[in-house]
Amino acid sequence: MFKIKSRKSVLFLAAAIAVIIILVIRGCNKESKISYEYGDVDRGAVEKTISVSGKLELYDSIIVKSEIPGEIIENNVVYNDKVSKGQLLLRIKSDAVDDAYNSYKSTYTVAKNDLDNYRQFLKIQKKLYDELLISKKEYDEVRLTYDRKYSTYEDVLEQYNNRAENVKKKNVYSPVSGIVIQSYIEEKSEVAGNTPLFLISTTLKKMKLTINIDEADIGFIKNGQKLTFTVSAYPDNVFSGEIKQVRMNPTAKQSVVTYEALVECENNDELLRPGMTVTATVDVNKKENVLRVQNQALLVSPVDKSIKPGEKFVWVYDKKSGKELPMREVPVVTGLYGDTYTEIVSGELSEKDKVLIGIHVNAVK
């Protein structure tokens, strides 16, 4: 038997067309013979899966950027190098940063000395005020002048510290432990502030997979569902993952609407790489030991019959039916509609019954 993975509506339409064709053949071709194919009603598993595609990405990564302009004079890492947090990655030569720092040293020194001297003067004035040798107004004026000098010093100190920090930024250190995935620069090249230098992944033991879900299937997808997938580089290997987020934002391309879902997957052997294309199967639902029929049983009918919305039936083989057809119509209530089988919740069906699953037209010789 073949496995059906098309939409229900398409299958019902195809079945209806097949019935019409059979009826036409019956009326117009007297030299044909109709034969019926039956399938068993049994107990077993009904499994619903959805096939999707996607692309692998780094699970967690960071782009290290330059914070000052200058020339790279020492690059200590290349692609695939493992680095530790705090490790020196490269050095930048920056005359502009050095000049800004050195020229501001004198401004800082003058402001600091001026504040220190006036602080001593304030102490003397405070002592004179406490001994009632100067008035409160005179002391308050000195105190106000000191406050202004202190405010000026704080502004100068902030500027000085910023310039000192920029000098430290000539050495670029790794902010995390990981592996260098990409290097954007070369030695002796010029960089500006905020220029990307390296892409570092914190781990390759896990990967992030972004899959695209068709709008007709998005209602089946939920956080926590498991999936399996393959990549063309290792066609015999089956990898697994778990859906962590289903995004609300739609993507429309050539009138096809899809939604993205993020999947976390293990990569302990580090076989998976970012950018690999994935073919995946999402395990939507599964029921064990339920009464079931093959999906085709709900899609074929030996007679032309209008179907009301929600109405479902199968044709059960019955050679004692006393009618022209060796079968009888049985209404059923279905549960899980799976890839190959459909769960039967209620109806006059029992194990070992046989139901119609196909109609074949054979020419009479």
Q: Spell out the per-residue pLDDT of the chain, length 365, in tens.
A: 333 344 444 444 545 544 444 444 445 444 568 889 999 999 999 999 999 999 999 999 999 999 999 999 999 999 999 999 999 999 999 999 999 999 999 999 999 999 999 999 999 999 999 999 999 999 999 999 999 999 999 999 999 999 999 999 999 999 999 999 999 998 889 999 999 999 999 999 999 999 999 999 999 999 999 999 999 999 999 999 999 999 999 999 888 999 999 999 999 999 999 999 999 999 999 999 999 999 999 999 998 878 788 899 999 999 876 677 899 999 999 999 999 999 999 999 999 899 999 999 876 65
Same fold? 8-46+289-363, 50-60+203-288: no
| Torsional sign, CA 136, 138, 144, 146 | negative
CA distance 263 to 285: 18
Give the angle 27-29-34 at the CA atoms, nearest 5°.
85
Q: What is the pLDDT of residue 363?
A: 65
- 161 token code pair: 């510290």
CATH class of 50-60+203-288: mainly beta
Q: Which residues contact 349 (CB under 8 A, 6 or more apart)?
A: 41, 291, 293, 314, 316, 330, 332, 355
- 330 token code pair: 């049985």
pTM confidence score: 0.69
Residue whose C-alpha is closest to residue 2's, from 340, 347, 349, 353: 340
Q: What is the pLDDT of residue 12?
A: 47
Q: Where are the domains of the chain?
A: 8-46+289-363, 50-60+203-288, 67-199
Q: What is the pLDDT of residue 70?
A: 96
Distance between start and end Cα atoms, the chain? 28
Q: What is the pLDDT of residue 112?
A: 94
Asked if 341 contacts 43 with a C-beta cutoff of 8 angstroms, the reply is no
- 225 token code pair: 């569902």
CA distance 347 to 354: 14
CATH architecture under which domain 8-46+289-363 falls: Beta Barrel (2.40)
Q: What is the pLDDT of residue 8?
A: 46
- 100 token code pair: 């800004």
Asked if 58 contacts 208 with a C-beta cutoff of 8 angstroms, the reply is yes
Residue whose C-alpha is closest to residue 115's, from 81, 87, 156: 156
Q: What is the pLDDT of residue 31?
A: 58
